[in-house]
Amino acid sequence: MTDFSSDEKIILVQYGIKKYENEVTVTEKLKSILSEKDIQRNIDTLLGTQRVRRIGPEILQNNESHTELPELPENLKPVIDDL
């Protein structure tokens, strides 16, 4: 696993949510690059800061009306593309 900063981990989770929305799918896709603990911690952080909202039991959605998605750094673009 690559070492990502905490900001990069949050960005990866946000873009994973944007791409898949289903929490189980997001977790499965990100497991190859982040630990399950990191994924869950970042989802909880995003929910707590209202950057992500829960729509139903397993569906997550970026709360783009509340906050904009951060710009995707160049080093993370290939990671997101490969998800």
The Cα angle at residue 33 between residues 28 and 38, in degrees rounded to 5: 75
* pLDDT higher than 90, residue 67: no
Give the pair of three-digit tokens for residue 65.
Answer: 């009306």
Distance, in Å, from the CA atom of 80 to the CA atom of 44, rounded to the nearest integer, reads 20
Tokens standing for 14?
């946000």
pLDDT in tens, 10-43: 999 999 999 999 999 999 999 999 999 999 999 9
Per CATH, which fold does 6-67 belong to? Arc Repressor Mutant, subunit A (1.10.10)
Q: Which residue has the higher pLDDT, 10 or 57?
A: 10
Residue ranges per structural domain of the chain: 6-67
Residues 29-32: contacts with CB under 8 Å, at least 24 apart:
29/83, 30/83
Is residue 2 pLDDT above 80, yes or no? Answer: no
Which residues touch 78 (CB under 8 Å, ≥6 apart)? none
pLDDT band at 1, cuts 50/70/90?
low
